[in-house]
A and B are shown apart, each in its own frame.
Chain A
Amino acid sequence: MKIALAGVSHHTASIELRERVAIDREAAASFAGELVRNGNGQTEAVVLSTCNRTELYIASGDGDAGEIADRALLALAGADADALAPVAYRLSDESAALHLFRVAAGLDSLVPGEGEILGQVRDAYEAGAPGAMLDRTFRMALHAGRRARLETAIGESPASVPAAAAALAQQVFEGLDGRRVVLVGAGRTSELTARNLRSRGATVTVVVNRTLEHAERLAAELGARALPLGDVAEAVTQADVVVSSTSAPGFVLTGDRLVSALRSRRGRPVLFVDLAVPRDVDPALASVDGCFVYDVDDLEAVVSASLEGRRAEAVHAERIVAAEAERFRAWQASLAVVPAIASLRALAEEIRSSELARVEGKLPESERAVVDTVTAQIVNKLLHLPTIRMKEAAVTPDGLVYADVVRYLFGLAEEDEA
């Protein structure tokens, strides 16, 4: 049985082309089912479709898996098939498996190690129509993806400014559950950051804005209280995290009153995330004990260092993926000797049973069971090492010779023909 992959990704195709072949989970399940039905039970299919890629994984024991995958991908593109064909990639067997392993580990993603892809591969596997071959391939890919995340730090660092702000808050506070977040300015960036903090357990308590109506609208969405900009100092002194993003021309959070209010916290930490340009938060606040001030440049530097770290970790993750791909190769190679092993075991069992049948009438009932067990054990022990050796040898370039030798020595080919 052969595996083939046909697909497009952000590496090869524009978003316009990727949109043409992108399908949701239900459509992917139904498309995979249709491919299996058309393959007369000899075909397995899984469709992986995310915003960055659409890939069809086909395994077929009857016909050319590559051709099936290619035709199916172009069928998905419909009228855009001609535009898609030159940018689609086609891989087979070990290359296809290695590609899937890299995808699952996040090594083929736009941001190395991004967290969602492993879940998307799992969804595709669960929604697809895998048989023995694709089932094993996808399970090994998921295992490789999990190992890459567990054994390296590839997915640990934030890859965006809002995520970096939330990760920094977690370096200051022991858990974000119930932490009070104050938003100064009701812009899109501060809202995204607030939502990121909220997803980690923090609570947005106050939204402060020059235009109170804007503050009220966002506050209603976030379950917070709206205040005018004049009350900012009062709001800030109660906060754990302050996210600021106004379009004010100068510092919004500054002044002796605010400094003395912050000093009264006696070192209780507060994190200022200043996303505005020009900046909203006076950097002098950082001199107060327990106050940490990060502006956009600082956050971008953190993201940049994180991505650099992810790329360094990707080298370790590639090693893990290569080791898993090697395991896959060994498993796939061992499949080639399975028929010879099965024939050898069947022959041995046949001889054992017939010899046992010959003496059956001569043995008392109690001894018959013992002889049955003992002969079965002898057969198993005799065949154990040749079975292991044949599987091991299958991985080597001339490995199948051993299976042929076994077939020749035991007359297995003749047995099969008979």
Chain B
Amino acid sequence: MAELLVWPALLAYGEAAFAYAGGLRGAGRYGRLGIWGVRIGWLAQTALLAVQATSSDGFPWGTWAGALNLLCWLVVTGYLAWGSNPRYRLLGIGVMPVAAALLVLAWMGGGTGVHNANGAGWALDVHVGLMLAAFASFTVAAAVALLYLFQERRLKRRDARLLRLRLPPLEALDRLAARVALVGLALLSAGIVVGLTRLEAGEIDVAMTVTVVLWALYAAALVLRREIGLQGRRLAWSLVAGFTLVGVVLPLTHFAS
């Protein structure tokens, strides 16, 4: 049953990714097709997660592939919160191919089926859930930051077609990216605190170190934004750099296990 739900989700996410790419040509119909693809895919994946949750005792996404499945769902959920607004739909150009790729990897790694839970206890489950939610937030923040850089480049280059393909204003993208990153930082902090409760002496590894560096990077960017007005291109690049680290942390913490 669970495996059957993967395909509609994957097809819908793939359709959304193609529709958003078509939306670059400026027609509103593509945007509507895209957002409906996201909605249908999200419903199918939510059903998939529900089936996995009800069929397992405990946390069913403890494996690296399962974690990717949950991360994909969190990313799409984060996107849906803003993507329904037509002004932000084009964020889907960056988010939906990533979501589709994550789901394919999760499926290939067997993370979309029903497995017995690892039985590591609730603290680890909460820790993993919080970390994945934080990574999902950072993914969305990076997508917004990339959209900022794209829009800024068009404005700098005085692109004549700027008003034919309208993106959200630069200021809105800057503010949104910072807010999403702040949510991600709060989730990451909570995830680290929960993780520390079950940490034993001498257990610190590379993944943990990179996670702390990641936390410091986001915290520094947001503090500098608040204190000295770091914004615009610099903030956007910081968030993209942070996301690159996310791409390192995730494999280190899950793929290596």
Contact = CB atoms under 8 A, between A and B. Distances in A.
Interface stretch (A42-50, A87-95, A289-297): A289-297
Contacts of A172: 155, 169-171
A164 B232 CA distance: 23
Nearest to A158: B163
Interface in B166-216: 166-172, 175
A309 B160 contact: no
Contacts of A167: 163
A286 B170 contact: no
Bin chain A's interface residue count.
Answer: 20 to 34
Interface in A210-227: none
A173 B171 contact: yes
A301 interface: yes
B169 A170 contact: yes
B226 interface: no
Contacts of B231: 266-268
Contacts, number: 81
Interface string A301-322: 1101110010000000000000
Contacts of B248: none
Task: Determine chain B's interface SS by DSSP, over half rule.
Answer: helix
Contacts of B169: 170-175
Contact of A305 (B155, B161, B172, B233): B161
B246 to A, nearest CB: 24
Contact of B170 (A156, A157, A171, A301): A171
B172 A309 contact: no
B233 A267 contact: yes
Interface residues of B, number: 27
B235 to A, nearest CB: 8
Contacts of A174: 168-169, 171-172, 175
A268 B231 CA distance: 7
Given A153-B28, A267-B231, A292 B156 contact: yes
A225 B168 CA distance: 32
A292 B175 CA distance: 19
A301 B160 contact: yes
B158 A289 contact: no
A292 B171 CA distance: 13
A186 B22 CA distance: 44
Nearest to B164: A309
Contacts of B162: 168, 171, 302
B158 A294 contact: yes
B228 interface: yes
A305 B163 contact: yes
A172 B155 CA distance: 8
B155 A171 contact: yes
A399 interface: no
Most buried by B among A158, A170, A267, A309: A267
Contact of A171 (B167, B228, B233, B235): B167
Interface in A258-276: 266-269
A266 B228 contact: yes
A170 B170 CA distance: 9
A283 to B, nearest CB: 10
Given A171-B167, A171-B170, A304 B160 contact: yes
Contact of B234 (A170, A175, A267, A302): A267
B160 A305 contact: yes
Interface in A188-245: none
A171 B163 contact: yes
Contacts of B220: none
B151 interface: yes
A298 interface: yes
Given A157-B164, A171-B169, A268 B229 contact: yes
B4 interface: no
In the A-B complex, the 10 residue pairs with the smallest Cβ-Cβ separation, listed nearest first, are: A267-B232, A301-B160, A174-B171, A305-B160, A174-B172, A298-B158, A309-B164, A266-B229, A174-B169, A292-B155
23 contacts: A152-B28, A157-B163, A167-B163, A170-B169, A171-B163, A171-B166, A173-B170, A174-B168, A266-B228, A266-B229, A266-B232, A269-B232, A289-B232, A292-B156, A298-B158, A298-B160, A302-B160, A302-B162, A302-B163, A304-B160, A305-B161, A309-B161, A309-B164
